[in-house]
Amino acid sequence: MPFRLERFVNRLQTTLSVDMMTDSDTSMTLTSVVGLPSSGQIRALLTEGSNQEIVLAILPPDASNQLSITRRIEAVGGVQNKYQFHAGATVEFLFTAESLTNDPRNMSAPGDLETLNTDGKVTRIPAGPEGSSYFIVNGMPTSAPGVTASFTNPTTSSQVLEQYLNQTTVTTDSTLQNPTFSNFEIHNDILNVAHGQNDPDQVSKKTFLVTKETMFSRGCGQRLVSSMGLYAWGCGDAFATDQTVYYAGGVTASGDEGQFVLRGFLQEIEDVFTDTIASVAAKPTINTTTRDALSRNGTATQTIHLNGSVGNLMNGQWVVLDAGLIGSAAFNRMEAVKASNVNSANNTFDCVLTHDHPAGAAVVPAVVITLNGSASQWGEQRDVVNLTQPPYTAGTAYCQVQTMYGLSTNWTQNMVGGNSASYSIGYIALGGDDNTTWQPYHDRGIILRAWYPLTGVSDATHLTIYKLSQSGSTEYAGNITSPSTATNYTIRPGARILAFDPVNSMGTGTVVLSPNAHTWSVGDTLECVHSTSADCDGITARAKTHLVGGTCRNVFVASNLGTAKWGRPTLSTTALSVPALARSSPSATWA
């Protein structure tokens, strides 16, 4: 239902740029103050994990984006505890476009709104004559049409296993539909294109889309731009998607791509991603193990008890739990956490865990570097190789399965400053696998190198590399597989990206790397490399049925229902089908 308000509501969300050193600090420094009013007072909701606090801020901020604040001016959900917030914590403001009074809680002009109530949500007070239409999005009034909205960690959903910004639930019994053939849609979007452009000289082309969905993901995990599910409990046709293109026009420029029902394009990014180090954070001296087995919670902080000393660990520094050499069992559980509430007397600190960890898991410092750029195209669990520190290149090499064989080499664990005890030996790339001829690389003088992490050094002429695939295969899949093809190679220092700081930023240049003993210096050039464990399919179609007696046809069917021939003139005008392999009884058999 439309929600009518007389005045527009402004919402500003930013983050803390500096840690609050205690839970009673009377100021906060923000990453951005763009959009804040120039005077008065305003309430703000601070959020870090499950900790929330409402503060009253005095406007305007100073030149360093610092605001004076009164702490804990009211409870959030009945809780009014003391919390220490750190850089990266979310700060949310809400205010009307009208003049800001000293206390937004006392706003009384018709249509004005309160900022935050005790549960952290907004209390809306519709008053005065009706104005523009607004809709509630993530608990916020949003105008339509012409909406531009930005949200971080939306809290519309109360389900921790499925978070969403918007959810629409519609139930229909079809009594309002035509009893012959009719449709019911939750969304019906129509775009009328009255004029366009598609020049034969390929100078100009206008593109029109009914819907465009884009995901930018520097975070790791399973990423899907769209997911559809149909549970067809009743009889009748059932399709996950139905796509039809009606056409009469053809291409008008030689660069046009034609008419498709479905077009898919899987493309490795044709670039390499390099940046230089602006600063390297001092590492704490912590080097110990966990006292207890730990269970992940993923949202709230928990206290970590150690078997040894926290060393000089300070609040806001990054440590790694379950540190392990790549490919090890510990490596599969390894995570970087940001410490808070460090207690040197009890040898404890607090953090949020996203993995389970056994008792005795190694706890060591992370390597934290800040780049001169934003690292916007770097991503979690990608590997970073240092292109400036001295490499090892003596002799030649080739690889079979996971073993790298050296000819006239003298390999050691510390040849580029690392070792297995410090959880990184280095990374190797064979010259014969370099891609320099493909036009996007050749034209810009770029070398696309296949870097493999090293997991062991058996002796002066034998190394073990790491590679992974979804099928479990770990074999090297490059070009250099025999002594006759042995080629030059390069071994360099490197590490894996575990996190970015702050974790909720898409453009931060502070990178948290896996633990290692390599040298990282200001000015060093780093490359966030393409993964040699990429595992690609063009199209995957799977079917899973069990009932004997139904008709199971083809997993994939391509049919020509027109009179024109497809493909070469000698090909059939009927159909092309690709059957799936039959499964043994009692499962259903596909033709």
pLDDT tens digits, 128-166:
333 333 444 444 444 444 445 666 666 666 677 777 777
CB of 64 closer than 8 Å to CB of 99: no
Q: What average pLDDT does this structure show over 231-256?
A: 79
48: exposed, middle or buried (Cβ count in 10 Å: 0-12, 13-18, 19+)? buried
Q: Residue 429 pairs with which residues in a beta bridge?
A: 490
Which two tokens mark 545? 């049925």
Residues making up the chain, counted from first to last: 591
CB of 511 closer than 8 Å to CB of 464: no
Cis previous bond, 502, omega within 30: yes
Give CA–CA dist 219/248, Å, rounded.
43
340: exposed, middle or buried (Cβ count in 10 Å: 0-12, 13-18, 19+)? buried
CB of 173 closer than 8 Å to CB of 35: no
Q: How confident is the model at residue 335 (pLDDT cuts 50, 70, 90)?
A: very high
Q: How confident is the model at residue 10 (pLDDT cuts 50, 70, 90)?
A: low
How does strand 51-59 pair with strand 40-48?
antiparallel
Nearest Cα neighbor of 17 from 31, 28, 27 is 31
Residue with tokens 């490197």: 494
Neighbours of 105 (CB within 10 A): 15
Which two tokens mark 300? 């709230």
3-state secondary structure labels for all residues of 156-189: CCCCCCCCCCCCCCCCCCCCCCCCCCCCCCCCCC
| pLDDT greater at residue 139 or residue 311 | 311
3-state secondary structure of 24: coil
Nearest Cα neighbor of 133 from 257, 20, 288, 8 is 8
Q: What average pLDDT does this structure show over 20-32?
A: 90
| pLDDT greater at residue 272 or residue 246 | 272
Q: How far apart are the first and last CA of the chain?
A: 50
Which two tokens mark 590? 């596909």
| pLDDT greater at residue 187 or residue 67 | 67
